[in-house]
Amino acid sequence: MLRVLAGILVVGFGAALKASAPEPKAAIAGVVIDSASMRPVYPSRVDMIGTNIFVLGDTLGRFLLPDVSPGTHQLRVRALLHFPDSLTVTVGTDTVRLKPIRLRLDVRMDSILRSVTIVAPGEPR
Protein backbone atom coordinates (compact mmCIF):
# COMPACT_ATOMS: atom_id res chain seq x y z
CA MET A 1 0.00 0.00 0.00
CA LEU A 2 2.80 2.36 0.91
CA ARG A 3 4.65 1.61 -2.36
CA VAL A 4 1.51 2.33 -4.41
CA LEU A 5 0.99 5.63 -2.61
CA ALA A 6 4.65 6.61 -3.14
CA GLY A 7 4.36 5.71 -6.84
CA ILE A 8 1.27 7.87 -7.23
CA LEU A 9 3.01 10.81 -5.53
CA VAL A 10 6.08 10.51 -7.79
CA VAL A 11 3.98 10.29 -10.97
CA GLY A 12 1.75 13.17 -9.84
CA PHE A 13 4.75 15.34 -8.89
CA GLY A 14 6.44 14.64 -12.25
CA ALA A 15 3.29 15.64 -14.13
CA ALA A 16 3.08 18.87 -12.10
CA LEU A 17 6.69 19.72 -12.96
CA LYS A 18 6.12 19.03 -16.64
CA ALA A 19 2.96 21.19 -16.72
CA SER A 20 4.72 24.16 -15.12
CA ALA A 21 7.89 23.97 -17.22
CA PRO A 22 8.48 27.32 -18.93
CA GLU A 23 8.17 27.61 -22.68
CA PRO A 24 11.62 27.55 -24.31
CA LYS A 25 12.72 31.00 -25.40
CA ALA A 26 15.36 32.20 -27.82
CA ALA A 27 16.84 35.55 -28.83
CA ILE A 28 17.30 37.65 -31.96
CA ALA A 29 20.71 39.27 -32.44
CA GLY A 30 21.80 41.64 -35.17
CA VAL A 31 23.59 44.80 -36.18
CA VAL A 32 22.26 47.95 -37.90
CA ILE A 33 24.53 49.58 -40.46
CA ASP A 34 24.37 52.46 -42.93
CA SER A 35 23.90 51.11 -46.46
CA ALA A 36 26.35 53.55 -48.04
CA SER A 37 29.19 53.73 -45.53
CA MET A 38 28.67 50.19 -44.11
CA ARG A 39 29.34 51.69 -40.66
CA PRO A 40 27.24 51.03 -37.56
CA VAL A 41 24.19 53.20 -37.10
CA TYR A 42 23.76 54.74 -33.65
CA PRO A 43 21.28 55.33 -32.14
CA SER A 44 18.99 52.63 -33.52
CA ARG A 45 15.80 51.03 -32.26
CA VAL A 46 14.36 47.59 -33.05
CA ASP A 47 10.66 47.04 -32.33
CA MET A 48 8.79 43.74 -32.35
CA ILE A 49 5.63 44.72 -34.23
CA GLY A 50 2.37 43.97 -32.41
CA THR A 51 4.01 44.06 -28.97
CA ASN A 52 5.48 46.68 -26.68
CA ILE A 53 8.89 44.97 -26.88
CA PHE A 54 11.82 46.98 -28.24
CA VAL A 55 15.57 47.32 -27.77
CA LEU A 56 18.08 50.04 -28.49
CA GLY A 57 21.24 49.30 -30.41
CA ASP A 58 24.63 49.99 -28.86
CA THR A 59 27.30 52.34 -30.26
CA LEU A 60 28.45 49.57 -32.62
CA GLY A 61 24.91 49.14 -34.00
CA ARG A 62 24.44 45.78 -32.25
CA PHE A 63 21.18 44.73 -30.64
CA LEU A 64 19.80 41.70 -28.81
CA LEU A 65 16.11 40.92 -28.33
CA PRO A 66 16.10 38.36 -25.47
CA ASP A 67 13.35 35.95 -24.39
CA VAL A 68 11.64 35.69 -27.78
CA SER A 69 8.99 32.98 -28.09
CA PRO A 70 9.36 30.51 -30.96
CA GLY A 71 7.42 31.49 -34.07
CA THR A 72 7.39 34.14 -36.78
CA HIS A 73 7.88 37.76 -35.73
CA GLN A 74 7.86 41.10 -37.56
CA LEU A 75 10.60 43.58 -36.67
CA ARG A 76 10.78 47.29 -37.47
CA VAL A 77 14.23 48.89 -37.42
CA ARG A 78 14.59 52.65 -37.10
CA ALA A 79 17.43 55.09 -36.70
CA LEU A 80 17.88 58.83 -36.65
CA LEU A 81 18.08 60.32 -40.19
CA HIS A 82 17.56 56.92 -41.85
CA PHE A 83 14.59 55.33 -43.62
CA PRO A 84 13.03 52.61 -41.42
CA ASP A 85 13.02 48.97 -42.51
CA SER A 86 10.86 45.96 -41.62
CA LEU A 87 11.70 42.29 -41.71
CA THR A 88 10.21 38.92 -40.82
CA VAL A 89 12.17 36.58 -38.54
CA THR A 90 11.37 32.95 -37.76
CA VAL A 91 12.59 31.92 -34.31
CA GLY A 92 13.10 28.39 -33.02
CA THR A 93 14.74 27.49 -29.72
CA ASP A 94 18.20 28.92 -30.51
CA THR A 95 19.45 32.48 -30.96
CA VAL A 96 18.79 33.81 -34.46
CA ARG A 97 21.74 35.83 -35.78
CA LEU A 98 20.57 38.17 -38.52
CA LYS A 99 22.70 39.38 -41.38
CA PRO A 100 23.48 43.13 -41.07
CA ILE A 101 20.41 45.31 -41.46
CA ARG A 102 21.27 48.07 -43.92
CA LEU A 103 19.38 51.36 -43.51
CA ARG A 104 19.43 54.05 -46.17
CA LEU A 105 20.23 57.62 -45.19
CA ASP A 106 17.23 59.98 -45.35
CA VAL A 107 18.47 63.45 -46.23
CA ARG A 108 15.12 65.02 -47.05
CA MET A 109 14.65 68.40 -45.37
CA ASP A 110 11.57 67.30 -43.39
CA SER A 111 13.51 64.32 -42.00
CA ILE A 112 16.26 66.63 -40.77
CA LEU A 113 13.79 69.11 -39.30
CA ARG A 114 11.92 66.35 -37.42
CA SER A 115 15.22 65.43 -35.78
CA VAL A 116 16.04 68.92 -34.52
CA THR A 117 14.46 70.68 -31.55
CA ILE A 118 14.94 74.44 -31.39
CA VAL A 119 14.70 75.98 -27.93
CA ALA A 120 14.70 79.75 -27.40
CA PRO A 121 17.18 81.08 -24.81
CA GLY A 122 15.65 81.03 -21.33
CA GLU A 123 12.88 78.60 -22.34
CA PRO A 124 12.60 75.25 -20.56
CA ARG A 125 13.67 72.25 -22.62
> Where in the sequence is the domain holding 30, given as residue range(s)?
24-107
121 found inside a domain:
no
Give the separation between CA 89 and CA 28, rounded to whole angstroms.
Answer: 8
18 found inside a domain:
no
Q: Go through 71-94 and write b for each residue having 16 or more CB atoms within 10 A of its CB, e for each that does not.
A: eebebebbbeebeebeeebebeee
Q: Please state the separation of Cα 123 from the chain's center in Å.
A: 37
51 found inside a domain:
yes
CATH code: domain of residue 72: 2.60.40.1120
User: What would the pLDDT profile of 68-115 be if each residue is shown by its tens digit?
Assistant: 999 999 999 999 889 999 999 999 999 999 999 999 998 875 655 566
User: What would the pLDDT profile of 2-44 be if each residue is shown by its tens digit?
Assistant: 454 444 444 444 554 455 667 778 999 999 999 999 999 999 9
61 found inside a domain:
yes
Structure pTM?
Answer: 0.70
46 found inside a domain:
yes
3 found inside a domain:
no
82 found inside a domain:
yes
8 found inside a domain:
no
Give the separation between CA 88 and CA 75, rounded to whole angstroms.
Answer: 6
- In sequence order, the 6+-apart residues with CB closer than 8 A to the CB of 96 are 26, 27, 28, 29, 89, 90
Into how many domains does the chain fold? 1
